[in-house]
Amino acid sequence: MKEALLGSERNLRLANDKATALTVQKLTKGNPTMQAKFAELTASAEDAA
């Protein structure tokens, strides 16, 4: 039982470390759909300024 709890704690820690390392740039790199959406947002922000 103790080993199972330690194993799940380790897995949760690893998952948390990976989630913390995520950034918008990492999520959108190589994703043409998201790159287009961010380009559209940037263009509309520049037009508003």
pLDDT, tens digit, for every residue of 3-35? 888 899 999 999 999 999 988 888 888 899 988
Residue 9 confidence (pLDDT): 94
CB 38, CB 28: distance < 8 Å: yes
**Residue 41 banded pLDDT, cuts 50, 70, 90:** very high
What are the tokens at 22? Answer: 């995520």
Q: How confident is the model at residue 1 (pLDDT cuts 50, 70, 90)?
A: confident
Closest of 11, 29, 30 to residue 19, by C-alpha: 11
Tokens of 37: 């959406």
Kindly list the domain boundaries of the chain, sorted by start residue: 1-47
Dihedral of CA 43/44/45/49: which sign? positive
- Alpha-carbon distance of 39 to 45, in angstroms, equals 10
Whether residue 40 has pLDDT greater than 90: yes
